[in-house]
Amino acid sequence: MSDKKVMFKVRNLTKEFKIRGKKIGEKPQILHALSDVSVDIYEGETLGVIGESGCGKSTFGKCLVQLHKATAGSVEYEGRNIFELKGNDLKKLKRDIQMVFQDPFSSLDPRMTAGQLVEEPMIVHKIVTDKAERKKRALELLQTVGLNVQHVHRYPHEFSGGQRQRINIARALSLTPKLIVCDEPVSALDVSIQAQVLNLFNQLQRQYHLTYVFISHDLSVIKHISDRIAIMYLGRIVELCDADIIYENPLHPYTKALLSAIPPESPFEKKERIVLSGEIPSPIGDQIGCPLAKRCPNCMERCKTEIPKLKEAEDGHQVACFLYEDK
């Protein structure tokens, strides 16, 4: 990916939430949702972000589209930090970055038809002012995602889950974005429908030259759609490399355990299951040492007090682990 253009430079991105104390006068505690996340997002790629529930992957996506305001760090786009943009510059950014959410029903206004839902962003951003032209554009987008003219005047409750998600995708495309953040877009769908929607994402990427940040907890989905994969654990990226490499040669102990959970393709194939014992540390309060230290079979003394940085262990393969520090 080194020969590709960097579209977004994420540096030391941190997001903390204050949690009010249960008792009167008790100081609020800090929940560390994202901690020191740094990654480049290349033009035209699909960056898969995977990890267990609560690891911060959705928070990462929402910070990119500014649904969450970052506590610290920067995201550089076209030479400027997106968190410093205001006015027309911020409005342009919001056209360039769109999001497809996990729940296809709750993310659609039940009072609006499919056509109106696709038209709405064009009205808000004033990119197609002629009403007839706007309706024509909405129909074209719905047809692009596999719906047709008979669906234009239907309401969200009249569609299946897969069709609703197609409306969400058409709505995201209406502003001609450069990056789409896909937050678990197929997790609420049946397996057969998942494949159709994933194939649609691939088709649209080629057609519109899109860049995706694809967030999921499903290892098979991420493998199918991603060019590179970032493994997240407790608010940090612990491993980052090309999709094929991470499945063939995982380095981080957490990644190895995560991938060992994938069932073997053949019933005759023997596969070692790596189980991490112990409880997942709390993201609330002071974070000392490697977040995996208490569960890691390779834990060293320094892991309990120092946090490893994400560094290149092999060509194009980054890992945050002291085991590979001198390699």
Contact yes or no for 175/97 (Cβ under 8 A): no
Three-state DSSP at 50 gives strand
Q: What is the pLDDT of residues 228-270, one digit of tens each?
A: 999 999 999 999 999 999 999 999 999 999 988 877 777 777 7
Q: What is the pLDDT of residues 94-117, one digit of tens each?
A: 999 999 998 888 999 999 999 999
- Sequence-distant (6+) residues with CB within 8 A of 260 are 271, 272, 273, 274
Residue for token pair 């953040």: 181
In whole angstroms, what is the distance from residue 313 CA to residue 202 CA? 30
| Beta strands across the sheet bearing 80-81 | 29-42, 6-19, 72-77, 80-81
The whole-angstrom distance between residue 324's C-alpha and the CA centroid of its chain comes to 26
Strand pairing class (179-183; 317-319) = unpaired
Spell out, as residue ranges, where the chain has pLDDT lower than 50. none
Domain boundaries, the chain: 6-324
The tokens for 17 are 């939430």
Report which of 123, 219, 234 is spatially closest to residue 171, judged by C-alpha positions: 123
Report which of 101, 98, 115 is spatially closest to residue 189, judged by C-alpha positions: 101
What's the confidence (pLDDT) of residue 2?
A: 54
C-alpha distances (whole Å) from 248 to each of 88, 213, 259, 326 are 45, 22, 10, 22
User: What distance, in Å, lies between the first and last C-alpha atoms of the chain?
Assistant: 21
Contact yes or no for 163/196 (Cβ under 8 A): no
Q: Alpha helices of the chain — where are they, by DSSP H?
A: 57-64, 87-96, 114-124, 131-144, 161-173, 191-208, 219-225, 243-248, 253-259
- Sequence-distant (6+) residues with CB within 8 A of 265 are none
Angular region, 78: left φ>0, alpha ψ -120 to 50, beta rest: left
In whole angstroms, what is the distance from residue 104 CA to residue 326 CA? 46
Residue for token pair 């267990």: 52
Contact yes or no for 202/171 (Cβ under 8 A): no
What's the confidence (pLDDT) of residue 116?
A: 96
What's the confidence (pLDDT) of residue 23?
A: 77
In the CATH scheme, what is the homologous superfamily, with its name and number, of domain 6-324? P-loop containing nucleotide triphosphate hydrolases (3.40.50.300)
